[in-house]
Amino acid sequence: MVLVTGANGQLGRRIVQHLIARSPAPMAGKLAVSVRDPGKAADLAARGVEVRHGNFDHPETLASAFAGVERLVLVSTDGPREQRIVQQRNAVSAAARAGVQHVYYTSFLDVAADSPSEFAAIHRDTEAALADSGLAYTLLRLPLYAEGLAMIGGLALEGGVLYLPAGNGAVSLVSRDDLAQAAAAAALAPRLDKQVYELSGQVAADYASIAARIARVSGRPLVYKAVQETDYVTAVVEHGLPDWQARALGTLFVAVAEGRMAATGNDFAALVGHPPKSLDCLIHEHFATRSKA
């Protein structure tokens, strides 16, 4: 049995959908999900997916959630740094106690010990927990979501300037749906050639180039301006973002400025059979509808 955690979330739900699409046989007894609120997964239950209650904040719920699971797709959680670290340690420990045969963890491209990014520290800790657990595991290291660009780019178009503390650093962007395809392919593969897959795009671009492409596609002016991390954090908090999230994003873009999110490669294609959508395709999807009539 394959079980996906966090299946009511944006990435987890897409992974489940791709697992269903890749399996021609009925799902009963073969695919399960672990969610905080089973009622929100009623549509999956109707499709034959076994819905189980599991809460990483309450590890006592995870024994039954992970019982009988052979392959566990462990989708990283969201929230403040220390909370995520504890949650994901709880999940790894529960998987080991339940006798899970293999864990597929949605990690992050940047896990370097000297990275300024809070996300690097979170995922590095979970990778270490997996290494110490005795479990067989595969690390699916994810880049920045293309949907994040759609959000910040859409807001920036209102004023014509994209302000980020990313310096001249380049990023590789991939959509959640493409990343879900890769995770599903990994979970169903008879064997994998590597323990670590970097699911980057095939090209990386800096934000000045990205802003120019958005402007061209949308038909509206947009330029990129690098700002200081402290100024960025202050600005996004003033726009309503929680302090912890603003600080985490600030450190993320500092890591971008240091070139830590610019990795490119062919690991995605090795799993899925084709590359992810190109940057130009993603920008067209998200910004062409914003163009002037």
Q: Which domain holds residue 71?
A: 2-142
Closest CA to 1 of 99, 141, 140: 99
Report the C-alpha gap between 56 and 36 in whole angstroms. Answer: 8
- Model confidence at 22, pLDDT cuts 50, 70, 90, reads confident
Q: Is residue 136, in this structure, part of any structural domain at all?
A: yes
Q: Is residue 124, in this structure, part of any structural domain at all?
A: yes
Using the predicted structure, report yes or no on whether residue 9 has a pLDDT greater than 70: yes
Using the predicted structure, report yes or no on whether residue 291 has a pLDDT greater than 50: no
In this structure, the answer to whether residues 11 and 152 fall within a common structural domain is no
In this structure, the answer to whether residues 41 and 66 fall within a common structural domain is yes
Bridge pairing between strands 173-174 and 196-198:
unpaired
pTM of the model: 0.95
Provide the CATH number for the domain around residue 157: 3.90.25.10
> In this structure, are residues 122 and 84 in contact, taking their beta carbons and an 8 Å threshold?
yes
Per-residue 3-state assignment (H helix, E strand, C coil) for the chain: CEEEECCCCHHHHHHHHHHHHHCCCCCCCCEEEEECCHHHHHHHHHCCCEEEECECCEHHHHHHHCCCCCEEEECCCCCCHHHHHHHHHHHHHHHHHHCCCEEEEEEECCCCCCCCCHHHHHHHHHHHHHHHHCCEEEEEEECEEHHHHHHHHHHHHHHCEEEECCCCCEECEECHHHHHHHHHHHHHCCCCCCCEEECCCCCCEEHHHHHHHHHHHHCCCCEEEECCHHHHHHHHHHCCCCHHHHHHHHHHHHHHHCCCCCCCCCHHHHHHCCCCCCHHHHHHHHHHHHCCC
- Domain count of the chain? 2
In this structure, the answer to whether residues 48 and 123 fall within a common structural domain is yes
- Model confidence at 94, pLDDT cuts 50, 70, 90, reads very high
Closest CA to 164 of 206, 194, 127: 206
Q: Summarize the confidence of residues 182-198 as an average pLDDT.
A: 96
Provide the CATH number for the domain around residue 108: 3.40.50.720
In this structure, the answer to whether residues 169 and 106 fall within a common structural domain is no
For the record, the structure tokens of 283 come out as 């920008």
Using the predicted structure, report yes or no on whether residue 68 has a pLDDT greater than 80: yes
In this structure, the answer to whether residues 137 and 204 fall within a common structural domain is no
% of the chain beyond a pLDDT of 70? 97
Q: Is residue 195, in this structure, part of any structural domain at all?
A: no
In this structure, the answer to whether residues 162 and 254 fall within a common structural domain is yes
Closest CA to 201 of 271, 258, 142, 255: 142
In this structure, the answer to whether residues 150 and 132 fall within a common structural domain is no
In this structure, the answer to whether residues 130 and 205 fall within a common structural domain is no
What local confidence, expressed as pLDDT, does residue 277 receive? 96
Report the C-alpha gap between 209 and 215 in whole angstroms. Answer: 10
In this structure, the answer to whether residues 108 and 221 fall within a common structural domain is no
